[in-house]
Amino acid sequence: MSPKRFFATALLLSGFGFQVQAAPLSATETMQQFNLIVFGSASSSSHVDGRTYVGGSLSGGDYGQHLGRMPASPYAGLTVGGSAANVNVNGGGISVGGSLASGNINNGSAYVGGSVANTNFNGGGAYVGGSAANVNFNRGRLSDAPAQSAPEGIEANMRDLSRELSQLSATGSTVAFDGNRAVFNAVAGADGIAVFDLSGIDADVFRKGEFLFNTNGADLLVFNVDELLLDFSANFLGGSAQGIGSRAVWNFYNASNLTIRNQFGGSVLAPNASFTNYNNIEGTVVVSSLNQRGEVHLQPLNASLPSARAPLVPPANAVPEPGSFALLLAALGALAVFRRAAARPREAHAG
């Protein structure tokens, strides 16, 4: 059997595990499948429950802590466009465009475009494009693998979403002040979406120490905030941080610098912001750069976003499903074995 035929057979036996092109992702699906999206670089001393994409470099952090609770996705547990250092991946595997230094990949397969040092690959087969120093390939090193990436246009998609949400008309939702407390009263439109336009009062809102929410049956809460600089530490009362986490989007569409010091409920959409969190975020985080000092908890968006943008189509070389990725890498590994086996008789005959 020729190597090409062997490779094709292996893919067939894997049940077509490697999808040449994954299904398109809408803005809603992107925020459901990714728990953290950072366009630039990020540093972390904490963890992310779900799937993470970092477009630049990444230092520190644990990723894919509870990936099994997220919607299925063709992308890795951790995708880094640049280089990564001091990371632990506990679900879904890893894809790094640059180098990887000091890592533990405990679940899932791995692709690293550059060199690797001081790393344990425990979850599955690993492809390393450059040199490897002090590396444990506990499930085997692969000689070939496709380049991996996140959905093409993910940054443009999220920026468009933020702009579109900022243009939504308020639905009559209001905020009342009661001493040090801001009380949010939702009024949903016919589509179940309650839109809060905070642009005239946001400085006052975020000076309050307590947030209380009357959701009144709304399916989705959208909070539009136009402040450039925000640093706040409001307490979400009555367990509301977790209660609204999967159905609230805070759209900080103008923010260039955003700091949240207490537990926060809902997705943080701040595409232009340098973001620092000192406590848990209950929802998806989408920011320009990140200094993570608190956890990002898994609260997949449980509502459809009012976005008119066409679905985002991943490129043909997108990371396959973790299981499919493993099957593909296994097929590539088997192909390498086949080639070595096929070469031995020729060498013996020549001698």
pLDDT tens digit sequence for 101-160? 999 999 999 999 999 999 999 988 999 999 999 999 998 999 887 655 677 889 999 999
pLDDT at 149: 67
> What pLDDT is recorded for position 25?
78
If you search the block for the tokens 């848990």, which residue do you land on?
Answer: 280
pLDDT at 131: 98
pLDDT of residue 342: 45
CA 75 – CA 315 distance, rounded (Å): 11
**pLDDT tens digits along 1-42:** 333 332 232 332 232 232 334 556 789 999 999 999 999 999
Digit-coded pLDDT (tens) for 298-319: 999 999 998 544 444 443 443 4
Is the pLDDT at 344 greater than 50? The verdict is no
Identify the residue with better confidence: 201 or 21: 201
Cβ atoms of 253 and 162 closer than 8 Å: yes
For the whole model, what pTM was predicted? 0.83
Structural tokens at position 182:
């801001």
Instruction: Tell me what pLDDT residue 146 has.
Output: 63
How many residues are listed for the chain in this entry? 351
- Asked if pLDDT for residue 343 goes beyond 50, the answer is no
pLDDT of residue 145: 76
The pLDDT > 70 percentage for the chain reads: 79
The CA R_g of the chain, rounded to the nearest whole Å, is 23
Least confident piece of the model among 110-119, 143-152, 236-245, 277-286: 143-152
Q: Note the pLDDT of residue 306.
A: 84
Could you report the per-residue pLDDT of 59-79, keeping only the tens digit for each? Answer: 999 999 998 888 889 899 999
177 pLDDT higher than 70? yes
Q: What's the pLDDT at 22?
A: 53
CA 184, chain centre distance (Å): 29
E strand intervals along 97-204: 100-105, 110-112, 116-121, 126-128, 132-137, 141-142, 174-178, 181-185, 193-197
* Phi, psi (rounded to 5 degrees) for 281: -105, 120
Whole-Å CA distances, 10 to 3, 17, 89, 334, 344: 10, 10, 27, 8, 22
Confidence of residue 172 (pLDDT cuts 50, 70, 90): very high
What average pLDDT score do residues 48-59 get?
A: 98
> What does the alpha-carbon distance between residue 327 and residue 150 come to, in Å, rounded to a whole number?
19
Percentage of the chain surpassing pLDDT 90? Answer: 73
The Cα–Cα gap between 296 and 286 comes to 11
pLDDT at 259 over 60: yes
